[in-house]
Amino acid sequence: MPRIPCSLRALVGERYFPFVTYFLTSPHINKPIDAIVDTGSPYTVLSTNEILGTRMPIRTMQRGEMVSLAGFRFFRYPINNVTLKFKTETGELFTGKLAVIYALIPTKIDKNTLNDVKNIPNIIGHDFMEENGLSLYFNPRGKIVYLEY
């Protein structure tokens, strides 16, 4: 089956986690994104840092359902009709679609909170993998990781 290479990236501590880079296309954001592949996350999300990096007005984005992550509470602000493009091992593009991706907007926006949540990464979640027929192979000891479609 065709593969999308991933990388092993340090996140915190000594462990390495599966990361993948994709190009996000949406009405307001068009940029490469580095994301952890987290099959335990029901949603695909953009981190607070990623949103801050786009200069989008996060104070006006404090709406949507609430979600708890890594001990912090966020609004999950919906960004509709996005396309995620990945480079395959053969140098082609794999294009996946998602009806909605969520921006993680802290329920409280101040200097301390933004500092506390800055380590939370972008996430490719269960929703994107299921809707686009992807599976993850992750062998941390062998340092082998890729997505298959």
Partner 1 sequence: MQDSEILEILKIAEEDGKWFSEKYEELRTKYEGKVVAIKNKNVLGDANSVDELLDKVGKKGEDVAYVLIETIPPKDVSFIL
Interacting residue ranges for partner 1, rule: CB under 8 A: 7-10, 12-13, 16, 19, 21-23, 25, 30-32, 34, 36, 38, 40-41, 49-50, 52-55, 69-71, 85-87, 91, 93, 111, 114-115, 118-120, 123
Q: State the minimum distance, in angstroms, from the CB of residue 63 to partner 1.
A: 21
In sequence order, what are the residues at sequence separation of 6 or more whose Cβ sits closer than 8 angstroms to the Cβ of residue 71?
A: none
CA 38 to chain centre: 9
How far CA 31 is from CA of 24, 82, 130, 140, in Å, comes to 6, 12, 23, 28
User: 10 Å Cβ neighbour count for 26?
Assistant: 16
The two three-digit tokens of residue 14, written as one number: 């000594």
Q: Would you say 85 or 108 has its CB closer to partner 1?
A: 85
Q: State the minimum distance, in angstroms, from the CB of residue 86 to partner 1.
A: 8
Distance (Å, whole) CA 102 – CA 56:
14
Q: Would you say 80 or 119 has its CB closer to partner 1?
A: 119
Q: State the minimum distance, in angstroms, from the CB of residue 124 to partner 1.
A: 12
Q: State the minimum distance, in angstroms, from the CB of residue 128 to partner 1.
A: 16
Q: Would you say 62 or 83 has its CB closer to partner 1?
A: 83
Distance (Å, whole) CA 108 – CA 130:
32
- DSSP class of 60: G
Q: Would you say 36 or 79 has its CB closer to partner 1?
A: 36
The two three-digit tokens of residue 104, written as one number: 């993680």
Q: Would you say 49 or 62 has its CB closer to partner 1?
A: 49
Q: State the minimum distance, in angstroms, from the CB of residue 122 to partner 1.
A: 11
